[in-house]
């Protein structure tokens, strides 16, 4: 709608626009961001948040609907049932990560213990956003927390690296995993790669495993959770949780749709920057460099040797 020429807009100031929608289909993420989540980014500078109001309409509010209609909605596949019956905007048909539940996967920030391993993942972008995520893993390997994100466009490689380095100050980062394309040599910089530019700024990247299907499987596994049938009691919490300050990962990961052609892959036309970053990050955690040595180990000494 924002790209429509001016003649399609009312000529009278402050003309109200009223729409009705179910979760899903084209424009789902846009509607959710502006009306449900009320997240306004730089591109929305001309918009007034006070002009956007979401009024949920629940199935149960219509007393004239027959029970047979409710029974039909209840019999739908889980994602469609949550969207159509419960009005859940975190669910839609074609959603890749349909195991996402905000009340399970999003947590308040806390101080990361000193003995948790920390590492990052980065997906490069300039015209499109670049993304870096910071992760910490508990010593028993049972829990991973995404505790910080950078998500910006228009930053050159050097500025990205400086921001990452500054944000990581005082932290021992095990590995900086990154999009393998960042290691390709570029003509415009006399052969230097983006990874070379990062290194000059003090951030030494390592190429991540870019097996897309294997990577998405690892993300699914980290998000997976189980509850006791019929009780709703959680019996297996998700291994991966995200600080609620990581707003772009929280916004875009559950909104990722499947590719209409490569049906097991994420649609690369979607806003997948944070999702790709998470994939790189989790694939690095699965790599051989993450095998802990047997017996007792001094974590600080070990990290120094890895550097």
Q: Give the model confidence (pLDDT) of 128-148 as tens digits.
A: 999 999 999 999 889 999 999
Question: What pLDDT is recorded for position 24?
Answer: 72
Pair (133, 22) in one structural domain: no
For position 295, what pLDDT does the model report?
45
Residues 116 and 62 in one domain: no
Q: Say how many domains are in the chain.
A: 2
pLDDT number for residue 293: 39
Write down the pLDDT at residue 294.
Answer: 46
Q: Give the range of the structural domain holding residue 37, as residue numbers without chain letter.
A: 6-92
pTM of the model: 0.73
Could you tell me if residue 302 is inside a domain?
yes
Q: Are residues 215 and 287 in the same domain?
A: yes
Same structural domain, 86 and 116: no
- 154 and 285 part of one domain: yes
The per-residue pLDDT of the chain, averaged, comes to 84
The answer, yes or no, to whether residue 29 has pLDDT greater than 80, is no
**With the CA atoms of 131, 137, 141 and 145 taken in that order, what torsion angle do they form, in degrees rounded to the nearest 10?**
-70
Tokens of 173: 């980062």
> What's the Cα-to-Cα distance from 277 to each of 50, 143, 228, 240, 242, rounded to whole Å?
33, 18, 32, 14, 14
CA angle 139, 248, 211 (to 5 degrees): 65
**Is 127 within a domain?**
yes
For residue 25, name the pLDDT band (cuts at 50, 70, 90): low
Q: Which residue, chain included where needed, has tokens 């994420």?
A: 266
Output 64 or 78, whichever has higher pLDDT. Answer: 64
Residues in the chain: 307
Residue ending a domain, choose from 57, 92, 127: 92
């Amino acid at each position: 709608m924002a790209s429509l020429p001016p003649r399609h807009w009312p000529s009278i100031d402050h003309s109200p626009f009223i729409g009705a929608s179910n979760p899903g289909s084209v424009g789902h993420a846009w509607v959710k961001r502006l009306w449900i989540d009320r997240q306004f980014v730089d591109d929305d500078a001309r918009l007034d948040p006070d002009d956007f109001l979401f009024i949920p309409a629940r199935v149960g509010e219509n007393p004239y609907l027959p029970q047979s209609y409710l029974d039909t909605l209840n019999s739908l596949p889980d994602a469609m049932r949550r969207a159509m019956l419960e009005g859940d905007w975190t669910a839609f048909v074609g959603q890749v990560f349909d195991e996402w539940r905000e009340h399970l996967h999003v947590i308040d920030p806390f101080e990361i213990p000193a003995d948790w391993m920390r590492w990052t993942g980065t997906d490069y972008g300039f015209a499109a956003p670049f993304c870096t995520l910071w992760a910490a893993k508990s010593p028993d390997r049972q829990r991973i927390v995404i505790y910080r994100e950078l998500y910006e466009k228009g930053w050159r490689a050097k500025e990205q690296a400086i921001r990452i380095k500054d944000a990581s100050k005082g932290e021992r980062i095990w590995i900086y995993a990154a999009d393998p394309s960042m290691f390709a040599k570029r003509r415009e910089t006399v052969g230097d790669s983006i990874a070379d530019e990062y290194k000059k700024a003090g951030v030494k990247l390592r190429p991540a495993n870019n097996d897309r299907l294997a990577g998405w499987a690892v993300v699914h596994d980290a998000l997976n959770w189980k509850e006791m049938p019929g009780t709703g009691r959680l019996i297996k919490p998700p291994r991966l949780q995200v600080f609620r300050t990581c707003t772009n990962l929280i916004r875009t990961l559950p909104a990722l749709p499947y590719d209409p052609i490569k049906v097991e892959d994420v649609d690369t036309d979607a806003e997948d920057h944070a999702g790709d970053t998470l994939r790189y990050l989790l694939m690095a955690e699965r790599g051989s460099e993450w095998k802990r040595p047997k017996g007792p180990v001094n974590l600080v000494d070990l990290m120094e040797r890895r550097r």
